[in-house]
Chains A and B, each alone.
Chain A
Amino acid sequence: MLDTVREVYTPEGVALRLPAAGPVPRALAWAIDFGIRMVLLSACSMVFGLLGSAGMGAYLICLFAVFWLYPIVCEGLFDGQTPGKRALDLRVVSSDGAPVGWLAACVRNLMRTVDMLPFGYACGLVSGLLDPWGRRLGDLVAGTMVVHVPKLRDSAMLAANAPALPPLQPLLPAEQAAVVAFAERAGQLTPERRIELADIASVVTDAYGEAGVQRLAGIAHWLLGKR
């Protein structure tokens, strides 16, 4: 119940992990989109305001486009990402992990009419909180969901040229994975935190402080197969 990642098996037999997005980032993305729409509309009203009565018609057509077509066209064209969703690293995908189609984009955005009821997306919020993957009513009907786009953090391996060291004691598979993950993630940590973590593993390094960090990195290299 706490895990919001949906695992879908593709035809190739590997699991696709879809981390569902909750109401808060989606509301923020909507707010950004709303801002963009308002800017578009005010720009239109300034241009068409100069044209008088005919401009009024053009303005209303713009209003229609911004109100109904903006989310559909953005999601259809930009791979399920409106500008607001792109800013927050969200994406609309089909429930089976495939990119969202035009028809599904139409359905989920037309259904906003119902999600908005009775005010401020209350229906959508309730549905999103009840559903295990945070789908609002429109998503349920369209067969889509909103996911976080995975971010690839390519941090350099800690002490890439440190000599490979065998661990002083044999390590269980989970422990090996923890040591390797530490070495890969260490670039994102402060030196103090690194030392703190490496000290926990002093049983296998027989060292403390910065020396312990270096040795642990060496063990990670050894585990990965560098010789």
Chain B
Amino acid sequence: MRQEHFIQRHQQEWADFAQWLDARAAKPRRARDDPRWRGLPDENMPAAYRRVCQHLGLARRRGYSPQLVTRLQVLMQRGHNALYRPPLPRWQRAVEFLLADFPCLVRAERGVMLASLLLFVLPLLLSFIAVQLKPELIHTLLSPQQVADFDAMYAKSAGKLGRDSGSDLAMFGYYIFNNISIGLRTYASGLLAGVGPVLAIVFNGLMMGAVAGHLQDVGLGDPFWRFVVGHAAFELTAIVIAGGAGLRLGLALLAPGRRRRVDALVEDGQRGAKLCLGIFAMLLLAAFIEAFWSSMGWMPAAVKYTVAAVLWSVVGLWLWRGGRDRDAC
């Protein structure tokens, strides 16, 4: 068949398909609400797309002109994009993910999570005890200026806990930027053969243990524990999970098992990204608690510790039981 003939015969189909793509592909929800559409019906779109694919194959095979082939190729590509695009995110799905899928995912990766927990807790305990026994050890980790800053943050018994200046909102922004960046970076650095998260978690554990040990030692333990105990439920857990996700990624690179290395990376990268969504939510909540609740200096210790106990058990229960009815867990 000559090209002109071919074009004449199928031109109308291509025009209809292009019209459908222009009018209805970009905004499917709005398009469905529009009753005045008289062009190609939505349900006929896949068939029309397959026809275009067939025409493209024919045009290539018969050696039609490059311009026609390009035109069909563009049409086919647009159809392909419309047909195979990912579904729009829904709010209901997001809630479902946080309540059920995320804990499932954490439990499914319990090996790396446990490793991450140990990498965090052991240095923390070690440095805490070491500073208790030998208080001058704090100066190997922190400069005198930093030690003085920490002392100042918890010294003012009447004012806000855990900071020298700044309103609640300013600190909320600071915690969001700082803590979530640390969490995401801990995960991403797992691509460096897992070295990144190991260093990040161990370092964080050492520092926190040392600071806690020092403040306990100089008699500022009470304001310090009252400050940290609440938001730590979400913050520390999130950092440990981020470390676990990073380790998982590093393991995919080091020991992919029976998968190709790149396939292992893609697969575990996706799981890690899902974990990161949960980590993001946890750290957001932690920043909120830290900025507006933890800093209340006047709140009696009993209330603080009761709320903290509730928060810790909520986190534990959520990660332990969340989404247990799922098949995947």
A residues apposed to B, CB below 8 Å? 10, 12-14, 16-17, 53-54, 56-61, 63-64, 67-68, 79, 97-104, 106-107, 110-114, 117, 137, 140-143, 150, 152, 154, 173, 176-177, 180-181, 184-185, 223-226
CB distance from B265 to the nearest CB of A (A): 5
Residue picked from B65, B77, B86, B262, most chain A C-beta under 10 Å: B65
26 interchain pairs, CB-CB under 8 A? A10-B53, A12-B50, A13-B53, A14-B56, A16-B77, A53-B167, A60-B170, A60-B177, A67-B181, A68-B181, A79-B81, A79-B85, A98-B80, A98-B81, A98-B85, A99-B81, A99-B84, A106-B277, A111-B191, A111-B269, A114-B188, A142-B269, A184-B66, A225-B1, A225-B3, A225-B5
Is A14 a contact partner of B169 (Cβ separation < 8 A)?
no
Is A56 a contact partner of B170 (Cβ separation < 8 A)?
yes
Is A180 a contact partner of B65 (Cβ separation < 8 A)?
yes
Is B269 a contact partner of A114 (Cβ separation < 8 A)?
no
- Taking CB atoms, residues of chain B closer than 8 Å to A111 are 188, 191, 269
- Taking CB atoms, residues of chain A closer than 8 Å to B60 are 14
Candidates A12, A59, A152; contact of B173 at CB < 8 Å: A59
> Residue B73 at the A interface, CB < 8 A?
yes
- Taking CB atoms, residues of chain A closer than 8 Å to B84 are 98-99
> Residue B321 at the A interface, CB < 8 A?
no
Is A54 a contact partner of B269 (Cβ separation < 8 A)?
no
Is A140 a contact partner of B262 (Cβ separation < 8 A)?
yes
> Residue B192 at the A interface, CB < 8 A?
yes
CB distance from B17 to the nearest CB of A (A): 14
A-B pairs, 3 with minimum CB distance: A225-B2, A57-B173, A60-B173
Interface string of B160-191 (1 = CB under 8 A from A): 00000011111111101100110011011101
> Residue B19 at the A interface, CB < 8 A?
no
Is A68 a contact partner of B180 (Cβ separation < 8 A)?
yes
Closest-by-CB residue of B relative to A57 is: B173
Candidates A61, A100, A103; contact of B274 at CB < 8 Å: A103
Q: A53-B167, A61-B176 are in contact. Are A141 and B269 (CB under 8 A)?
A: yes
Closest-by-CB residue of B relative to A54 is: B169
Is A14 a contact partner of B277 (Cβ separation < 8 A)?
no
Is B89 a contact partner of A102 (Cβ separation < 8 A)?
yes
Bound form: Cα–Cα A32–B83 in Å: 31
- Taking CB atoms, residues of chain B closer than 8 Å to A177 are 63, 65-66
> Residue B70 at the A interface, CB < 8 A?
yes
List which B45-63 residues lie within 8 A (CB) of chain A: 49-50, 53-54, 56-57, 60, 63
Count of interface residues, chain B, beta-carbon cutoff 8 Å:
60
Is A61 a contact partner of B170 (Cβ separation < 8 A)?
no
With A13-B57, A67-B181, A181-B65 given, can you name 4 additional A-B contacts, CB distance below 8 Å?
A57-B171, A100-B86, A103-B274, A177-B65
Residue picked from A106, A141, A180, most chain B C-beta under 10 Å: A141
Bound form: Cα–Cα A141–B250 in Å: 11
- Taking CB atoms, residues of chain A closer than 8 Å to B180 are 64, 68
- Taking CB atoms, residues of chain B closer than 8 Å to A140 are 262, 265-266
Candidates A16, A64, A112, A141; contact of B265 at CB < 8 Å: A141
Is B73 a contact partner of A150 (Cβ separation < 8 A)?
yes
Is B86 a contact partner of A99 (Cβ separation < 8 A)?
yes
Bound form: Cα–Cα A93–B271 in Å: 19
Closest-by-CB residue of A relative to B187 is: A110
- Taking CB atoms, residues of chain A closer than 8 Å to B86 are 99-102
CB distance from A168 to the nearest CB of B (A): 20
Candidates A13, A100, A141, A181; contact of B66 at CB < 8 Å: A181
Closest-by-CB residue of B relative to A135 is: B262
Is A141 a contact partner of B191 (Cβ separation < 8 A)?
yes
- Taking CB atoms, residues of chain B closer than 8 Å to A224 are 2-4, 65
Bound form: Cα–Cα A16–B81 in Å: 11
Bound form: Cα–Cα A106–B76 in Å: 27
Closest-by-CB residue of B relative to A48 is: B173
- Taking CB atoms, residues of chain B closer than 8 Å to A154 are 71
Is B273 a contact partner of A106 (Cβ separation < 8 A)?
yes
- Taking CB atoms, residues of chain A closer than 8 Å to B74 are 150, 152
Is A150 a contact partner of B77 (Cβ separation < 8 A)?
yes
- Taking CB atoms, residues of chain A closer than 8 Å to B185 are 113
CB distance from B81 to the nearest CB of A (A): 5
CB distance from A216 to the nearest CB of B (A): 14
Closest-by-CB residue of A relative to B66 is: A181
Is A184 a contact partner of B67 (Cβ separation < 8 A)?
yes
Residue picked from A54, A99, A107, most chain B C-beta under 10 Å: A107
Is A57 a contact partner of B266 (Cβ separation < 8 A)?
no
- Taking CB atoms, residues of chain B closer than 8 Å to A56 are 166, 169-170, 173-174
> Residue B270 at the A interface, CB < 8 A?
yes
CB distance from B239 to the nearest CB of A (A): 16
CB distance from A45 to the nearest CB of B (A): 12
